[in-house]
Amino acid sequence: MSDIENKRSLPAQAIALIISLVVCFAAGGLGGLATTQGLDTWYDTLAKPTWNPPSWVFAPVWTTLYCLMGIAVWLVWRGGEWKQVKPAVVLFTVQLVLNSLWSLLFFGVQNPGAALVEIGVLWCAIAATTVLFFRRSAIAGGLMTPYLLWVTFASFLNFTIWNLNRV
């Protein structure tokens, strides 16, 4: 355990972990609101590839990913002084906002083209965050990797749906 970790009390670390998880799940909840509004109506009318996962897959996958992300950012936060971890935490926050924005663009605004552009920016932000997290903690970087892989898949799915439904 580093000196920084020793300086922070167990209750403070537990509170920080809870806050990290709540923030991640709140971002997911915001995205989820946009998703549920368009899921049973507009989304069902879209042409989708045969390899499109069934709708029920997304909730458990995203729940797991938000949990892993919350733990990852907590590990980075507790691993150093604020000025050392600030770039990674700020970039994490940016990608989290972009994550919610994608759902709004794709489902809320029902614009797969705009969502496709945005998910490219999101992917870059996640990749950069993952690199910064690996520099702070191998475990934190590892916890971000499934998220990066899932968004890689989601990007390809977004592209395919946009391509199949262009007018």
Q: How far apart are CA 157 and CA 162, in angstroms?
A: 8
107 HSE (CA, 13 A, CB side)? 20
Position 11 pLDDT exceeds 90: no
Token code pair at residue 73 = 């950012």
- The pLDDT score that the predictor gives to residue 1 is 46
- Tell me if 24 sits within 8 A of 66, measured CB to CB: yes
Supply the mean pLDDT for the chain: 91
The domains of the chain, with CATH numbers, are 3-164 (1.20.1260.100)
- The pLDDT score that the predictor gives to residue 33 is 78
- The pLDDT score that the predictor gives to residue 7 is 61
Instruction: Give SS3 for 101.
Output: helix
- The pLDDT score that the predictor gives to residue 38 is 55
